[in-house]
Amino acid sequence: MSSNKRAEKKDSDDAEIPGMKLDQKYSSKKPLIPENTEEVQKEMDKTKKELDKLKGSIIKKYPFTIFLSILHPQSIKFFIEEEEIPKETEKYIQLYWLVPEDQFKNISKLKAEAVKMIEDLQGKFGQKVWIQVKTPVDIWEMGLDSKFELMQGVAMSLPLHDKGFLQGLRLTEIHKSLVLQKFEKYVVSYVLGGSFVRGDTIKTSDIDVFVIINDTDVKRMPRVELRERLRGIIVGEHVQQACSFAGVKNSILNIQVYLLTDFWESVKDAHPVIFTFIRDGVPLYDRGTFMPWKTLLKMGKLKPSPEAIDMFMSMGDNTVKRAKRALLDILLQDIYWSVITPSQALIMLYGLPPPNTKETYTQMKKIFVDKEKMLEKKYIDILEEITIKYYKGYEHEKIKEVSGAQIDKLLKGTEDYLKRLKELREQIEKQSLQKTIEQVHKDVFGLLEAVTEKKSQVQIIQEFEKLIKRGKFTQQHLRILNEVVSAKAESKKGKLNFQKSDTARRNAMILINDLIEFSQRKDLAVFEKGKMRIKFGEKDYADLAAVNGQVFLVKEGVVHKVTNKLENSSQEEFSKAMDEQKSKKSVEINPEVFAVLKKEFGRFDIIL
């Protein structure tokens, strides 16, 4: 990290977020970047001037160069430790040359050519020169290996030539440092993604950044308000500061701020944007959360994602082809897994956790033969023959030889079983359509009933249309609502297809999230009416809240209730009163409360 000294006191204009105990040492306005003394800066400027001719030679001969830069002296030690660079080069000028990935096979040749150029010009340099030749994949692997000091060292290097890559990397590193200075205790992951990582950027491309904040221990404000306040700081204030430090006029950062609880919900719901982000993303900072997600996604273990189900289903066909070319040892194992993994996939699709291999046959029989009567007995007999008779017999050395006729029978049975499983998948999906759409309909109208205070579906829709006319919701929300109603009607008639059901479900999540946010904002508006801050003494503050006919005082995290005196209370009692306040549109406060406070604290000021 940087050698910058961090401020020990928070600036008075820093935005404060109740419930988030910010570490004072991370409140500095300066990013964690190498600090150049006047002497170091003069030396680097001199070095840059001396290397201009070398830069010209490299760029002229290799115009595909992405960037060429000088590593900052403070970061060289990290490269020596991690990249197996000779120790004596710590005093050298260290150059970092980035070339496209398609030049990977030529790196040795490129480095040899660069060394020759350096030797030819060596007399013009004040000290020896060392050069590293890398591709973007090498930089991304630093993040994937949690070697964040190396990434920062590259980002903060002095550019001799840059097509924009180094500038983008520098901007994200500075922004990351600002975010960590303010919220390090709460930042779970800071991840770079999108076209910048994939290498398919165009001139108008943004740099996609995802910041995940742990909100699990923030209890003093609604999550909607927390998310908006964080966005205001991270996307607004910090981006402007990062652009200023990086010398960038127009921000190219596209920052997405997620609360950990919201992000995990999206992961469980197999949201395509989140899965793409996990798949392509490279962490610039991670507290052991992002990389396990990335690994689980690659393994198809983030369940019940479509990727996992498709992966298991596809294994059957592939392994059958391999099994036809194998003999006893490989054959029996491949046939076994070719029926086990798709069977596990369908149990997952049914809505249950995937069983272990020993329980798969039992679960398939219990669910699809005995309970649902969706699978014919002859197919479960095939599964039993392969998994129990042959594979277990082979595993326990009871079967030591399999004839050609038996192999043909097993392969034919496997093919029939897999074909039937594909049909069974369609049956399961069709059966789940009605349950899915009914649940979506129930969730949507349950929220609408709370928002509109109406009971019947017709009344709810009429009242919702009034809210749209008042600008509280959009015509898109009404279209989604009608889509859900139509999907349920078609489901009752047995005419609903998977595509329409899935579209209605995914779109309904937009409406549900907006309804929840609308309700929370209404609750917040009522709560804010009775909320004030009081100041007593020189530096002492407390929060005063009038909710549900009661008045609570929160001082230094301790909850009190104000009656005719100051009584001990609890977070549970306060939360319960807040929940009961939601059904009321007005807030009342007894003037005698202020007399009690005056008696308790003496003179005090009210801050609204």
Q: Quick one: pLDDT band at residue 365, thresholds 50, 70, 90? A: very high
Out of 33-42, 144-153, 494-503, 524-533, least confident range: 33-42
Distance CA 76, CA 85 (A): 10
Which helix (H) or strand (E) covers residue 551, if one does?
A: strand 550-555
DSSP state of 129: E
- CB crowding 424-454: b at 16 or more within 10 Å, else e: bbeebeeeebbebbeebbebbbebbbebbeb
Q: Quick one: pLDDT band at residue 4, thresholds 50, 70, 90? A: very low
Q: Quick one: pLDDT band at residue 10, thresholds 50, 70, 90? A: very low
Summarised one tens digit per residue, pLDDT across range 558-567 is: 888 888 888 8
pLDDT at 8: 37
For residue 513, give the nearest of 217, 265, 221 by alpha carbon: 265
Give whichever of 2-16, 20-34, 553-567 has the largest mean pLDDT.
553-567
Q: What's the distance, Cα to Cα, between the start and end of the chain in Å?
A: 41
Summarised one tens digit per residue, pLDDT across range 190-226 is: 999 888 898 887 777 889 999 998 888 776 677 777 8
In this predicted structure, the answer to whether residue 138 has a pLDDT above a threshold of 90 is yes
In this predicted structure, the answer to whether residue 143 has a pLDDT above a threshold of 70 is yes
Tokens of 95: 């150059």
In this predicted structure, the answer to whether residue 351 has a pLDDT above a threshold of 60 is yes
Distance CA 71, CA 69 (A): 6
Domains and CATH numbers, the chain: 1-9+28-162 (no CATH), 164-302 (3.30.460.10), 306-402 (no CATH), 430-526 (no CATH), 530-607 (no CATH)
Q: Quick one: pLDDT band at residue 543, thresholds 50, 70, 90? A: confident
Distance CA 594, CA 590 (A): 8
pLDDT at 19: 54
Q: Please give the average per-residue pLDDT across 572-584, as a whole number.
A: 74
In this predicted structure, the answer to whether residue 395 has a pLDDT above a threshold of 80 is no
pLDDT at 327: 53
Do the Cβ atoms of 534 and 541 come closer than 8 Å? yes
pTM to 2 decimals? 0.47
Do the Cβ atoms of 569 and 494 come closer than 8 Å? no
In this predicted structure, the answer to whether residue 42 has a pLDDT above a threshold of 80 is no
pLDDT at 330: 56
In this predicted structure, the answer to whether residue 229 has a pLDDT above a threshold of 80 is yes
Q: Quick one: pLDDT band at residue 24, thresholds 50, 70, 90? A: very low
Integer-rounded Cα Rg, in Å, for the chain is 32
168 by Cβ neighbours in 10 Å (0-12 / 13-18 / 19+) ranks as buried
Out of 120-129, 452-461, 496-505, 557-566, least confident range: 120-129
Cis peptide leading into residue 304 (ω within 30°): yes
Give whichever of 58-67, 430-439, 441-450, 528-537 has the largest mean pLDDT.
58-67
CA 118 centroid distance within chain: 44
Do the Cβ atoms of 59 and 68 come closer than 8 Å? yes
In this predicted structure, the answer to whether residue 415 has a pLDDT above a threshold of 50 is yes
At 99, phi and psi to the nearest 5? -125, 160
Out of 91-100, 317-326, 401-410, least confident range: 317-326
Tokens of 246: 């990086």
Out of 316-320, 438-442, 466-470, 550-554, least confident range: 316-320
Q: Report the percentage of the chain scoring pLDDT > 90.
A: 22
pLDDT at 29: 37
